[in-house]
Structure 1
């Protein structure tokens, strides 16, 4: 198991470094570089994980956490809601209280296509690619040998280490964000058994935070105390999502055994 996980971890790390430094060299943000990295990540990750599962693990793809199309769509929406409802509600409250300000810079006819375009990029680059590797492949392999709690922590450690190695978690604060984010995603994966829940949560977080950042310039967020970026987008949903999963499990009715 360690060798198989190590092979996929090294392959993912090397490929992301290639995406960062060869296909789209780092520097000032450009849309073309974002598209190149997003497409490159998905084109490499999907076949890599599927082949690793078949050839290295010799296991079925079911262990990656997929379900039917309808079930997957529902799980994706649940994941998006687990992040979006507390985050967007808190943001609305903070804007009403005057803790932060949002200025719309472009008309709706231009903002909506840009938002949908970002959603596609996030799905390709982060929500699908990263979840397939960490909450899909790594979670499945670790969970075959470890307890669920150890698996959740283990995949979070791998995700954080990967973020450090590729330069995405280059500070202590970023490393802590990576670790806590992946812990929450691991809890969602363990609680629902469906990787699409993780993809929905991941997509909602990334689309919102990236669209309000400086690189897109359709909406300007003035958040001097980081009330929205810290409390509404991170602390609150990262706490409420695991609590919601705990409440759901506690109140779920057991399926009666057949006679």
Structure 2
């Protein structure tokens, strides 16, 4: 008897371009609305109250946005976006964080040993630990989880159903860069355009590659979480007193080095063949009910 092959499913959906436009525009509206509200409540300067408002408001609106799009527009279960459960989810978050932390730690150690920068901690160790834990919670809620769920989850999955995964990585990175750069231009003016668009595109390409190699959104969440927590802790944190003598050298030895090496680390952590070229249409029965 011949072995049956998985049946690909043909489901009537809105055009892909429309789905991508709606998801990206909806994401932009959520972040703009929440940040405008928090600014009206707490002022322009970042504070703990404003940070919490941003985090809670964003996750409360962004996650339902994805749920609605999956169920009523795509008719696809959320699990199809790469959100696995159990031990695999925890492992993928940890491995994803390591893809950034390992090369960043090596790069920073080199920078410190050669005297390219100095770091001085003016707060106590207890205050440092508290700041790290607080930032992990706030970054996960405000940035890492909702942004990854939308761009490396929803957007990426829609793209891979019709195009090669490597193309999906590039396109989702362009959309993420458009989203992030627009937010910064609105709040800071056109002077930040080149810097932010380059940063967001590069970060999204690497996060997308981690997502592709691992097959898990949790992995890109871990990558995003590690990146943002470290950068906010050392360069932008309002919760602990750390002095970095050369912010450019710090960024180069941590973020830039990590961006260049993360996919290599990911290939070591998640072993096995990786599909870079073949589209991955939905299997029969993978629609939401």
Identify whether the pair has TM-score above 0.5, normalized to the shorter chain: yes
Query: 1:115–1:211: 8 Å Cα contact kept in structure 2?
Result: yes
SS of 1:145 mapped into structure 2? coil
Q: Give 1:196 shift.
A: 0.5
SS of 2:235 mapped into structure 1? coil
**Structure 1 runs not aligned, ≥5 long:** 255-259
SS of 1:98 mapped into structure 2? coil
Q: In structure 1, which of residues 19, 22, 25 is the aligned counterpart of residue 37 of structure 2? A: 22
SS of 2:120 mapped into structure 1? strand
Aligned to 1:240: 261
Query: 1:37–1:125: 8 Å Cα contact kept in structure 2?
Result: yes
Normalising by structure 1, we get a TM-score of 0.90
- Paired residues in the alignment total 252
Aligned to 1:200: 222
SS of 1:146 mapped into structure 2? coil
- Structure with the bigger RCO (C-alpha within 8 Å, sep 6+) is 2
Aligned to 1:79: 96
Larger displacement relative to structure 2 (197-206 or 103-112): 103-112
Larger displacement relative to structure 2 (239-248 or 91-100): 239-248
Matched, 1:57 2:67: no
SS of 2:242 mapped into structure 1? strand
RMSD: 2.1
Structure 2: distance between partners of 1:152 and 1:203: 19
Highest Rg: 1 or 2? Answer: 2
Structure 1: distance between partners of 2:127 and 2:263: 36
Q: In structure 1, which of residues 205, 208, 226 is the aligned counterpart of residue 248 of structure 2? A: 226
Q: In structure 1, which of residues 210, 216, 227 is the aligned counterpart of residue 238 of structure 2? A: 216
Q: In structure 1, which of residues 246, 252, 257 is the aligned counterpart of residue 272 of structure 2? A: 252
1:117-176 CA-to-partner distances (Å, cap 9, x unmatched) read: 111000001110100110011001111111111100010000011112222693201110
Q: Give 1:247 shift.
A: 5.6
Normalising by structure 2, we get a TM-score of 0.81
Structure 1: distance between partners of 2:181 and 2:131: 30
SS of 1:243 mapped into structure 2? helix
Aligned to 2:277: none
Larger displacement relative to structure 2 (164-173 or 125-134): 164-173
Aligned to 1:257: none
Equivalent residue runs for 1:3-152 within 5 Å: 3-25=18-40, 27-152=44-169
**Structure 2 runs not aligned, ≥5 long:** 1-15, 275-289
Aligned to 2:17: 2
Going from structure 1 to structure 2, the CA distance change for 1:111 and 1:127 (only over 3 Å counts) comes to: same
Q: Give 1:6 shift.
A: 1.7
Structure 2: distance between partners of 1:86 and 1:199: 17
